[in-house]
Structure 1
């Protein structure tokens, strides 16, 4: 579990591909402090398992499902990536609940300055993801916890303060670049419960409906 507050910008030192399987070697010094084999580190918003490490880098494997769902397969040697260690129990929770389970990708279609902020407009590769993108709600872009400004037909925008831009790899992203998207997990669970049907009967497996929530003051 993560919070979407990037701890360090790492640098890709090595990439090995075999079909849709990958092995990454990432240069880092902060997130490797106290790291152990099997620990989880978010790389551009993707939860990866540490398979080896030293004081200046760590390695992680990327399986085919992650290869297909994220932008990790587009990484190049020397490229910067956002890194965050899994949150410790009792630590400050400054962002929002981030699993590191990317829902899909989006493409930056516009980047513009708005006074002291930079506004990014992102078009989702899968329009169905927009159901979980709520104005003033939380969303994760390349592992960064951000607030949605507004939404359109298949896109949304976020406004980023200078500190966040300076401390993350997003400063190097422009129109045409692909980013990893993780929607708010709470919305996904609520939607699943409302839509759930038991496969064996194709009948609703729960009495929890939108009407029930409205009648009881939840909506």
Structure 2
């Protein structure tokens, strides 16, 4: 479990083919957290596992990915030099400054346009099947960042997020352009509520 508050900007150093997919090597120099082998980390909102000791990788973080992950998230488009969002998993003592995030990407959205005149807003088109999980002022995780749904238009299948200066400074969301693809994870509680109502909401009990 994560909170959607980015702790470090890492840099992709290489992608290495493996028998089961690819290994991503990430430079996280300066990160106060020193993850151990087997620990869960999110890269741009996608939960992955540290696969090797940093002493064997020249200090880089190594994460193994399978074809499913590469195809269903934006990790498959990462190239050496790209900056990525990193967050360690939460504990019961972690301040929940964002919202509950699983690191399970629900789909990939596409940026439609960006407004930078005054308030910085980004309009994103998610996969249509995800629209039922959005609510005005609800939570949404974009590229691993916990954000608030600032505007919503279900009929035209888009939502907007507003980015404050701190978010622009500490994440790569300010680098998004029209056509950019982003990992989306809808609010965990909202998904559970929708699922229950759809499958059990009309059930009556004696």
Q: TM-score, normalised by structure 1?
A: 0.85
Question: Residue 215 of structure 1 aligns with which residue?
Answer: none
Task: Write out per-residue CA displacement over residues 12-48 of structure 1, whole angstroms, 9 at most, x where no aligned residue.
Answer: 0011246982210011035473311100110000000
Higher RCO (C-alpha 8 Å, min separation 6): 2
Task: Name the CA distance, whole Å, in 2 between partners of 1:173 and 1:90.
Answer: 33
What is the distance in 2 between the residues matched to 1:31 and 1:88? 18
Alignment match, 1:51: 51
**Structure exhibiting the larger radius of gyration computed from Cα positions:** 1
| Cα deviation 1:116-144 (Å, max 9, x = unaligned) | x31000011x2010111111000000000
Partner of 1:201: none
| C-alpha separation in 2, matches of 1:146 and 1:33 | 23
Match of 2:84 among 76, 81, 89: 81
Aligned residues: 199
Root-mean-square deviation (CA), in Å? 1.9
Gaps of 5+ in 2: none
Distance 1:64 1:33, change over 3 A: same
CA distance in 2, matches of 1:35, 1:161: 29
User: Residue 180 in 1 paired to residue 183 in 2?
Assistant: yes
Q: TM-score when scaled to structure 2?
A: 0.90
Deviates more, 1:15-24 or 1:41-50: 15-24
Residue 114 of structure 1: CA displacement?
4.4
> 2: distance between equivalents of 1:22 and 1:96?
30
